[in-house]
Amino acid sequence: MIIPIVTISHIGGACPVQGCGTVQAFGVLDAPVRHWYFRARGQSWTLTVGDLAPSVGDDWSDPGPLDDGFVSPNRADLCVRGEYQGGLYAAGWMPGVDAEARIRKALDLWARGERGCVDLGPDGPDADAAGIQADSVAENSPDSEKE
């Protein structure tokens, strides 16, 4: 079983709610440490996992929480998107506990080998984040119903 080792450097703010940290796949020999960035605004949220984009002056060092560095979508291993229901601007006011649940679910997908872009679809402030599944994962599971 592959388990993500998640380090959360920051979660907070409003309009947008943002978070950043690192992740490593536990149980994988010589697994690299990757950076992640979470952003929730309007009615949606996104999380990217990958390399940091260069800081000012092309310094590729870890810039610290929410400085100039961020995970560049064109260098990302995984981009996850979800809709946060509850109103026009609900995602921008997402509570930290909701943000962390979505972060951990997305990072679990990464640790299991999901790559590319994944749309988790709609959820909400009261959604059980542990029950949210990526469409591509759910469609390929043995328990999914085919039409």
Rounded Cα–Cα distance for residues 94 and 91 (Å)? 5
Q: Say which residue the tokens 């085919």 belong to.
A: 146
**Per-residue pLDDT tens for 48-104?**
998 776 544 444 444 444 444 567 666 788 999 999 988 899 999 999 999 999 999
Task: Determine contact, residues 133/143, Cβ cutoff 8 Å.
Answer: no
Residue 55 CA to its chain's centroid (Å): 21
| Cβ neighbours of residue 21 closer than 8 Å, sequence gap 6 or more | 6, 7, 8, 9, 10, 35, 36
**Per-residue pLDDT tens for 15-48?**
999 999 999 988 777 888 899 999 999 999 999 9
pTM for this prediction:
0.74
**Per-residue pLDDT tens for 106-145?**
999 999 889 999 999 887 554 544 444 333 333 333 343 4
Number of Cβ within 10 Å of residue 33's Cβ equals 10
Percentage of the residues of the chain whose pLDDT score is greater than 70: 69
